[in-house]
């Protein structure tokens, strides 16, 4: 399966003759399983119609920065946050110049400024324009600022010139784009990740659980795979498809999760506990469904404490780099620092689960990294993007 499967890709098309190749680019990205949104500049629609791109991407094309209909749906900031990567193809000399100046005077340039995702440019222009010192200086500046240039290719141009300035072929752009989702930060490392909730049975039909969807843990598992790790995901019950290229063990209760972790951690290097493990379970599971008794009579359930998986694994495997999460509703950093010490781990990733739109069962999260050295706040991001940043931070601990 392609690394682009399920990735959110914005293809931003500017006004050059190579825009006709962007239709094929979008088609190839869709074939690879990516979700594609297309942005077109005014120049681009002189070369190719939005209808073509809409038909190929399966989504309406975004053309305007301030479009009331779009802002009511997926506005420009949401679009910038949605993206796992933005590929500007073709990227004209004029767009390169505007990006180098940090302008935000149309949708394309605003998205490139507003996004936290990687921005890749596929330059396409006449060879003299590409070789001009102004364009070369802009290219250099954009690379220094962290944008990636793909190409240009050398060859015969639409204007009859021969030289550098041709847009890379769509197939090549797809291969290059796949590369950004496969870093080597964890090449050869064995990583165990817990995700999702646990379910603690009350009787054959009822259980105690919580709102964890598994999205954070699954995103971490996918990002660890992309970083080259051999990943064992130990998951409580979720509705998520299993990420590709990893081993997944499904469990129900905290005690099942602990025993799966103990087996998996024997030869692991890194343990990340993102699961929302139930702290307590019913002292006994009723053999039969518990029946309602009198109309007004209450019902009490005796609970006993579950094992602390993270603390147990950290104590049993002292050479493992252990990272936990902290789901807090107040005093985020203070509680995370207490967990760091109590569980004897290298890092606690703290999230405020009382904040709307982040934490449990949401697509975005905002976390604070707490280590013995201090606390570092990360920006609010989609969990898929945040996971990639977290992998890089954890890789620093694991050196």
Rule CB under 6 A: is residue 118 a binding residue for ligand PMT? Answer: no
Element housing 97 (H / E): helix 93-100
DSSP state of 374: E
**Nearer Cβ to ligand PMT (47/360):** 360
251 binding ligand PMT? (CB under 6 A): no
Q: Which of 91, 159, 248, 322 is catalytic?
A: 159
Nearest-CA neighbor of 121 among 133, 138, 101, 103? Answer: 138
Q: How far is the CB of 219 from ligand PMT (least distance, A)?
A: 8
Looking at the Cβ atoms of 130 and 207, the one nearer to ligand PMT is 207
- Residue 266 makes contact with ligand PMT by CB under 6 A: no
In the bound state with ligand PMT, the residue whose beta carbon lies nearer, of 30 and 393, is 393
360 binds ligand PMT (CB under 6 A): yes
Judge whether 261 counts as a catalytic residue: no
d(CA 41, CA 48): 11
234 binds ligand PMT (CB under 6 A): no
Stretch that binds ligand PMT, among 10-18, 164-172, 220-228, 270-278 (CB under 6 A): 270-278
Structure tokens belonging to residue 75: 């506005």
CB of 357 to ligand PMT, least distance (A): 12
- How far is it, in rounded angstroms, from Cα 120 to Cα 365? 25
Q: Are 235 and 257 in contact (CB under 8 A)?
A: no
**Which stretch in 6-14, 111-119, 281-289, 305-313 sits in contact with ligand PMT by CB under 6 A?**
305-313
In this chain, which of 39, 117, 125, 327 binds ligand PMT, going by CB under 6 A? 327
Cβ(192)–Cβ(265) below 8 Å: yes
Q: Is 399 exposed, middle or buried (0-12, 13-18, 19+ CB in 10 A)?
A: exposed
- Contact flag: residue 277 with ligand PMT (CB under 6 A): yes
Residue 180's nearest CA partner among 8, 57, 19 is: 8
- Integer Cα distance of 332 and 5 in angstroms: 35
274 binds ligand PMT (CB under 6 A): yes
Q: Is residue 216 a contact point for ligand PMT (CB under 6 A)?
A: yes
Which residue from 310, 347, 391, 394 is in contact with ligand PMT, where contact means CB under 6 A? Answer: 310
Asked if residue 279 binds ligand PMT (CB under 6 A), the reply is yes
Question: According to the binding rule CB under 6 A, does residue 215 interact with ligand PMT?
Answer: yes
CA–CA distance, 396 with 373 (Å, rounded to integer): 13
Size of the site for ligand PMT (CB under 6 A): 29
Tokens standing for residue 186:
């964890």
The interface with ligand PMT within residues 169-198 (CB under 6 A) comprises 194, 196
Of 372, 270, 374, 347, residue with least CA distance to 313? 270
With CB under 6 A as the contact rule, the residue among 306, 337, 371, 384 that binds ligand PMT is 306
Spell out the residues 6+ positions from residue 186 whose beta carbon is closer than 8 angstroms to its own: 224, 227, 228, 229, 270, 391, 395, 398
Q: Provide the binding-site residues for ligand PMT, judged by CB under 6 A.
A: 194, 196, 212-217, 254, 273-277, 279, 306, 308-310, 324-327, 339, 351, 353, 359-361
Residues labelled as active-site residues: 159
């Amino acid at each position: 399966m392609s690394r682009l499967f399920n990735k959110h890709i914005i293809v931003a098309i500017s006004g050059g003759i190579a825009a006709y190749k962007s239709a094929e680019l979008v088609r190839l990205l869709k074939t690879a399983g990516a979700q594609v949104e297309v942005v077109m500049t005014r120049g681009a629609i002189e070369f190719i119609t939005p209808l073509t791109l809409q038909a190929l991407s399966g989504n309406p094309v975004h053309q305007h920065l301030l479009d009331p209909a779009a802002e009511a749906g997926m506005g420009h900031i949401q679009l910038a946050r949605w993206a796992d990567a933005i590929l500007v193809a073709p990227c004209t000399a004029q767009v390169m110049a505007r990006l180098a100046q940090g302008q935000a005077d149309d949708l394309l340039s605003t998205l490139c400024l507003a996004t936290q995702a990687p921005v890749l440019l596929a330059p396409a222009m006449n060879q003299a324009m590409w070789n001009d010192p102004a364009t070369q200086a802009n290219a250099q500046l954009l690379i220094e600022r962290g944008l990636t240039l793909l190409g240009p290719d050398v060859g015969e141009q639409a204007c009859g010139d021969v030289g550098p300035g041709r847009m890379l072929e769509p197939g090549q752009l797809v291969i290059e784009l796949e590369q950004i989702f496969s870093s080597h930060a964890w090449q050869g490392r064995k990583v165990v990740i817990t995700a999702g909730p646990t379910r603690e049975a009350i009787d054959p039909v009822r259980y105690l659980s919580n709102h964890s969807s598994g999205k954070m843990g699954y995103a971490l598992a996918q990002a660890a795979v992309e970083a080259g790790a051999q990943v064992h995901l130990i998951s409580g019950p979720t509705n998520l498809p299993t990420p590709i290229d990893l081993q997944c063990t499904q469990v129900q209760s905290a005690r099942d999760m602990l025993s799966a972790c103990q087996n998996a951690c024997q030869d692991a290097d890194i343990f990340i506990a993102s699961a929302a493990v139930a702290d307590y379970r019913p002292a006994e599971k009723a053999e039969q469904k518990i029946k309602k008794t009198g109309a007004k009579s209450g019902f009490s359930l005796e609970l006993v404490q579950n094992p602390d998986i993270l603390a147990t694994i950290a104590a049993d495997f002292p050479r493992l780099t252990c990272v936990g999460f902290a789901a807090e509703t107040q005093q985020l950093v203070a509680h995370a620092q207490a967990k760091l010490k109590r569980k004897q781990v290298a890092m606690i990733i703290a999230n405020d689960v009382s904040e709307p739109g982040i934490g449990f069962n949401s697509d975005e999260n905002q976390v604070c990294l707490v280590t013995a050295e201090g606390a570092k706040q990360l920006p609010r991001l989609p969990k898929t993007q945040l996971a990639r940043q977290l992998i890089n931070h954890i890789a620093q601990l694991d050196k």
